[in-house]
């Protein structure tokens, strides 16, 4: 990115020298970038159809956009790094112009009434680390473009109306620590690429419509603490690949279609396991003491 910026400045200087054009100052270039953020935020505001608490009343030209409610800018440059508007009963859709806020690291819009879909343009947010859209009414599919955000640590889409598959490209998000999509309408299988996420600590897909077995590849989730997949249509035997995940402290696979025996020595294989929820399946044999 720095190389591209330097090349751009060199090109401007060369054109100015050859054609005797006025040379843009660095501050002017930064001002153009700042306007990009301001216009993106104003487009975001235009997509809001109801703001019952007047939260966005400060979003006007009387103050810098860095001082608008819910906005945080960086220390070095006045670029938006955080958009936090959780819990304000906002209604509307997510403007695709959000993809122009390329310095964003944190988005929290949970506990509102956003509808529509997650715009494909979120894939432009290559600095994004935390995306929290829980408890809205967002539909559509999880955009594959989101997997371009390689620095993501948190994806929290809990309590929406998302459908379709979990993108197999999720395996590229090697820094991901939390994947929370509980209470949606997701279908398909748990992708095998999930096993690439060695930093993943929480995997929560409870109350969806996932099918198939739990893939053996999840043995690669060496940091996993919570595996929550209750109330789906998952099947097969208790996944032996979970035995290797000694960091696990909670497993919930209730109300699925699993069968076979539960491992008698599960407490030995998983020394940190505190909660094991397996009811509402077709298991047989002895129930381990830790299981409920």
pLDDT at residue 200 in the model: 98
Listed as own residue / partner, the contacts of 232-239 with beta carbons closer than 8 Å and 24 or more positions apart are 232/205, 232/206, 232/207, 232/208, 232/256, 233/209, 233/257, 234/190, 234/210, 234/258, 235/211, 235/259, 236/212, 237/261, 238/262, 238/263, 238/278, 238/283, 239/213, 239/214
Q: How would you class 189 by CB atoms within 10 Å of its CB: exposed for 0-12, middle for 13-18, buried for 19 or more?
A: middle
From first to last of its 292 residues, what are the pLDDT tens digits of the chain? 434 444 444 444 444 444 444 444 444 444 445 799 999 999 999 999 999 999 999 999 999 999 999 999 998 889 999 999 999 999 999 999 999 999 999 999 999 999 999 999 999 999 999 999 999 999 999 999 999 999 999 999 999 999 999 999 999 999 999 999 999 999 999 999 999 999 999 999 999 999 999 999 999 999 999 999 999 999 999 888 888 899 999 999 999 999 999 887 887 788 999 999 999 999 998 877 665 5
């Amino acid at each position: 990115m720095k190389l591209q910026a330097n090349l751009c400045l060199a090109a401007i200087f060369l054109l100015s020298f050859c054609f005797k054009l006025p040379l843009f100052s660095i501050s002017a270039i930064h001002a153009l970038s700042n306007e990009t953020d301001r216009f993106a935020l104003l487009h975001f505001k235009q997509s809001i159809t109801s703001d019952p608490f007047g939260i966005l009343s400060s979003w006007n030209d009387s103050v810098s956009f860095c001082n608008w409610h819910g906005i945080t800018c960086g220390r070095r440059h006045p670029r938006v790094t955080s958009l936090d508007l959780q819990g304000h009963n906002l209604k509307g859709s997510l403007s695709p112009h959000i993809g122009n806020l390329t310095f964003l690291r944190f988005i929290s819009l949970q506990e509102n009434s956003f509808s529509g879909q997650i715009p494909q343009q979120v894939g432009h947010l290559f600095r994004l680390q935390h995306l929290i859209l829980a408890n809205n009414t967002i539909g559509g599919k999880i955009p594959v473009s989101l997997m371009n955000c390689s620095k993501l640590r948190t994806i929290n889409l809990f309590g929406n109306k998302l459908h379709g598959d979990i993108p197999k490209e999720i395996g590229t998000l090697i820094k991901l620590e939390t994947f929370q999509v509980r209470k949606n309408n997701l279908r398909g299988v748990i992708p095998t690429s999930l096993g690439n996420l060695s930093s993943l600590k929480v995997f929560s897909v409870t109350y969806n419509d996932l099918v198939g077995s739990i893939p053996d590849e999840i043995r690669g989730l060496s940091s996993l603490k919570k595996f929550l997949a209750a109330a789906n249509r998952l099947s097969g035997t208790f996944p032996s690949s979970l035995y290797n995940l000694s960091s696990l402290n909670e497993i919930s696979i209730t109300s699925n279609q699993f069968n076979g025996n539960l491992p008698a020595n599960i407490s030995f294989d998983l020394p940190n396991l505190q909660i094991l929820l397996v009811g509402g399946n077709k298991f047989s044999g002895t129930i381990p003491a830790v299981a409920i």
